Chains A and B, each alone.
Chain A
Amino acid sequence: MGERLTGKVAVVTGAGRGIGREIAMLLAEEGAAVVVNDAGVNVDGTGGESTPAQTVVEAIRARGGQAVANYDNVADFQAAEQIIETAVREFGRIDILVNNAGILRDRMVFNLSEDDWDAVIAVHLKGTFNCTRHAAVRMRQQKAGRIISMSSTSGLYGNTGQANYGAAKDAIAGLTRVVARELGKYGVTVNAIAPAAQTRMIATIPSKAREIRAQRGVALPGQRVTELPPLRAEPGDVAPFVVYLATDAAKNINGQIFLVRGGLVALLNDPAPVRTITKNGRWSAEEIAQVFPLTLGMDLVNPAPAQPPAEASQ
């Protein structure tokens, strides 16, 4: 057992399975007392059981760590407060919040139902906001804290069939950038991870969708068609960097987004202007059309160029 987080208290949402479970285990291994939150739902958000969270708590305790289970739904504002308050009640404080809970309901945008949109936004975006909001009050008061939220390349890069998930995950990136600037002065850091790992969530994506993404070069990172074996992507591979961000060593890393898959950890750039056109006075649309191909648009690639009808309808 390490001692990097001795005396610290962490909340990990969606910690009953997959990436969240591994994060909770490693936080505990480094000495943190952990609230293992998981509503125990299916990948699409239906159902609910206490077993996943309880199993992780038992595993942590079996290794000599401290943990307590919580089954509240992150998507509910009051319930999220209870998740954070569980940490305070059981362990006296909250130092680390890992927003990991999520569900998936993939559909092409022209077929996406309101319910599939709402459910995914509620768990990912509202859930991340809710927990962050309640933790922020305490972290601000104690002038210390770590918030690590899960974003995704689905939103950062754009994955077909994931308008709801991609929107929610990019929204989490935006939320991260704003809250980093709001809480930084109080000694709190707020960062996001875009993880890739083989979990039950990934297993729900139809293999055909994955093939199409791979062909277009918009695959999940490392999944392009190639003779090389794919990069490893175990759920436990994400945990070390998340835990690193939670330690004192990372106290000045704030407002950043990192990609983590297997043994690969990458810092993503912040959005910034890459090329600018300016003139004296207002542009006309005709003028923009004239200069665009030589300037702003010179090397743009359409990620999904128009296809002839026969191909497009496949």
Chain B
Amino acid sequence: MAKMLEGRVAVVTGAGRGIGRAVALGLAEAGARVVVNDYGVDVHGEAPSTGPAFEVVGEICAQGGEAVANTDSVATWDGAARIIQTAIDHFGRLDILVTCAGILRDRMIFNMTEAEFDAVVAVHLKGTFCCIRHAAPIFRSQRSGRIITFSSGAGLFGNPGQSNYGAAKSGIGGLTKVVARDLGKYGVTCNAIAPVAATRMTLTEEFLRAREIRRQQGIVREERALARLEELKPEDVAPMVVFLASDHAANVNGQFFLVAGSSISLLSQPRPVKTIFKADDRWTLDELDAIVPQTLAEGLVNPAPPREG
């Protein structure tokens, strides 16, 4: 049986560790030649090093695959251009872009610094955009391409302490939906994965502490997955990425998938679920006071109700 991605060329950002590494290895195993991009920073985005990218290239080559390292930062326009160009220079083309690079700087909104917000948005949101932006003209002119971005339950469901990360990851969601529509007619697909896996980014002391607190408060929705986070491996995310990168997913576009261990879910898109309508005029406040409690607001649960005292 021919390999699923034989002859394809992929770029994976943040591929030095965790999910990105697992994706790069998975794509290579499926026959793709891979640009392993990693800026080599710590979880907070500090102290770049070339080590992680080269280590993963070594792993891929040791398994008989083809790979090349790139250590540019996705967060700069020119760095992202060099990442994409690396694929062209070394392998002559680009078919698949997987944007995994990300950092974390958790803080409650009322304490968050400007730098903490900016750094996280720069790497996740701008980094994803920059790579897509430089890959898009190539995909458009060859009339094919696969973009797989990484969103997160943090933004989709709302994790306390992660307004920067949650905003960036939801922003990637919006970007994914627009790019799917901008590039779909050129035979390109763009989908997002919201992964849950135990990595250095997620299985932190802070996480374990926060998980305990959130458990006590009962204000976390993805509790079941997070409760067994330790069992959810980065390698579990790779097969879905390989599938989305393949011809089998040629018509899967603009979708979101939650991947946690052996569980893969299609996520709902935002849609109106309850509507009030007045044909000829705007609502008045008196009318809203009367109608909203029995309609739009009926059954709504405050995810973090006020506490006494």
Taking the nearest CB of chain A, how far is it from the CB of B246, in angstroms? 7
Q: Are A171 and B177 in contact (CB under 8 A)?
A: no
Please measure, in the bound complex, the distance between the C-alpha atom of A218 and the C-alpha atom of B256, giving whole angstroms.
18
The reply to whether the CB of A237 lies closer than 8 angstroms to some CB of chain B is yes
Is A271 within 8 A of B186, CB to CB?
no
CB distance from A139 to the nearest CB of B (A): 8
Contact with B along A260-273 (1 / 0, CB 8 A): 00111111111111
Known interface pairs A274-B265, A296-B264; A154-B273 also in contact (CB < 8 Å): no
The 7 closest A-B pairs by CB, nearest first: A174-B170, A170-B174, A304-B184, A184-B304, A158-B177, A171-B171, A155-B174
Partner of B297, one of A162, A252, A282, A296: A252
Interface check B278, CB cutoff 8 A: yes
Contact A302 B184, beta carbon cutoff 8 Å: yes
Q: Let me know if B171 and A125 touch, CB within 8 A.
A: yes
Whether A305 touches B302, Cβ cut-off 8 Å, given contacts A178-B155, A240-B288, A265-B276, is no
Residue of B246, B264, B293 with most partner-chain A CB within 10 A: B264
**Complex partner residue of B110 from A140, A161, A218, CB under 8 angstroms:** A140
- Pull 21 A–B residue pairs with CB atoms less than 8 Å apart, ordered by A: A109-B179, A117-B126, A117-B133, A156-B270, A158-B176, A173-B155, A178-B155, A178-B162, A241-B283, A252-B300, A255-B302, A258-B296, A263-B279, A263-B281, A269-B268, A274-B266, A282-B236, A285-B240, A304-B180, A305-B253, A309-B143
Tell which of A160, A166, A254 touches B302, judged by Cβ atoms closer than 8 Å.
A254
In angstroms, Cα B144 to Cα A309, docked, is: 12
Min CB–CB distance B61 → chain A (angstroms): 21
The answer to whether the Cβ of B243 comes within 8 Å of any Cβ in the partner chain is: yes
Check A125 against B121 for contact (C-beta < 8 Å). Answer: yes
Chain A contacts with B in 222-249, Cβ cutoff 8 A:
232, 234, 236-237, 239-241, 243-244, 247, 249
Report the number of A-B residue pairs with Cβ-Cβ less than 8 Å: 388
Which of A13-21, A128-136, A198-206 makes up part of the contact surface? A128-136
**Are A286 and B4 in contact, CB atoms less than 8 angstroms apart?**
yes
A196, CB-defined interface residue at 8 Å: no
Partner of B277 from the list A173, A187, A243, A263 (CB cut-off 8 Å) is A263
Q: Is A62 an interface position by the 8 A CB rule?
A: no
Q: Determine how close the nearest CB of chain B comes to the CB of A111; give it in whole angstroms.
A: 9
What bracket does the count of chain B residues touching chain A fall in?
35 or more
Find out whether the CB atom of B110 lies under 8 angstroms from the CB atom of A178.
Answer: no
Contact check, B174 vs A167: say whether CB atoms are below 8 A apart: yes
CB-CB under 8 A from A176, the residues of chain B are 158
Contact: B174 with A154, CB < 8 Å? yes
Please give me the residue from chain B that is nearest to A171 by CB atom.
Answer: B171
Residues of chain B lying within 8 A (CB to CB) of residue A258:
296
Is A72 interfacial (CB 8 A cutoff)? no
Nearest A residue (CB) for B269: A157
Q: Determine if B168 is an interface residue (Cβ-Cβ < 8 Å).
A: yes
Choose among A178, A276, A287 the residue that contacts B265 (Cβ–Cβ < 8 A). A276
Q: Which of A175, A281, A286 has the most CB of B within 10 A?
A: A175
What 1/0 flags go to A292-314 for Cβ under 8 Å of B? 10001100101111110101100
Asked if B180 and A158 sit within 8 Å, CB to CB, the answer is yes
In the complex, the answer to whether B281 meets A288 with C-beta atoms within 8 Å is no
CB distance from A25 to the nearest CB of B (A): 13
Complex partner residue of A175 from B129, B167, B277, CB under 8 angstroms: B167
CB-based contact B182/A108 at 8 Å: yes
Bound Cα distance from A252 to B161, whole angstroms = 21
- Are A271 and B267 CB-contacts (below 8 A) given A163-B179, A256-B300? yes
A211 beta carbon closer than 8 Å to chain B: no
* Cross-chain contact B170 with A109 (CB below 8 angstroms): no
B137 at the interface (CB under 8 A from A): yes
Chain B residues with CB under 8 Å of A181's CB are: 158-160, 219, 303-304
**Contact flag A275-B266 (CB < 8 Å), given A218-B181, A244-B289:** yes
With A266-B274, A276-B264 already in contact, the answer to whether A172 and B242 are too (CB < 8 A) is: no
Interface residues of A in 143-202 (CB under 8 A from B): 143, 154-164, 166-187, 189
CB closest residue in chain B, given A264? B277
For B258, the chain A residues whose CB sits under 8 A away are 273
B302 touches A30 (CB 8 A): no
Would A179 and B109 count as touching, CB distance under 8 A?
yes
B163 touches A159 (CB 8 A): no
Residue of B nearest to A282 (CB): B236
Bound Cα distance from A271 to B265, whole angstroms: 12
Q: B273 — which chain A residues lie within 8 A by C-beta?
A: 266-269
Interface status of B117 (Cβ within 8 A of chain A): yes
Interface members, chain B 30-86 (any A CB < 8 Å): 30, 77
Which residues of A are found within 8 Å of B279, using beta-carbon distances? 263
Does B204 have its Cβ within 8 Å of any Cβ on chain A? no
* A160 with B171: CB separation less than 8 A: no
Contact with B along A212-223 (1 / 0, CB 8 A): 000010100000
> Chain B 216-235, CB within 8 Å of chain A: the 1/0 string?
00010000000000000101
Contact of A253 with B by CB under 8 A: yes
With both beta carbons as reference points, the residue of chain A lying nearest to B156 in the complex is identified as A271
Q: Are A167 and B171 neighbours in the complex by a CB distance under 8 Å?
A: yes
**Interface residue A46 (Cβ < 8 Å from any Cβ of B):** no
Whether a CB of chain B sits under 8 angstroms from the CB of A280 is yes
For B238-282 the 0/1 string (1 means CB < 8 A from A) is 011011001011111111111000111111111111111111111
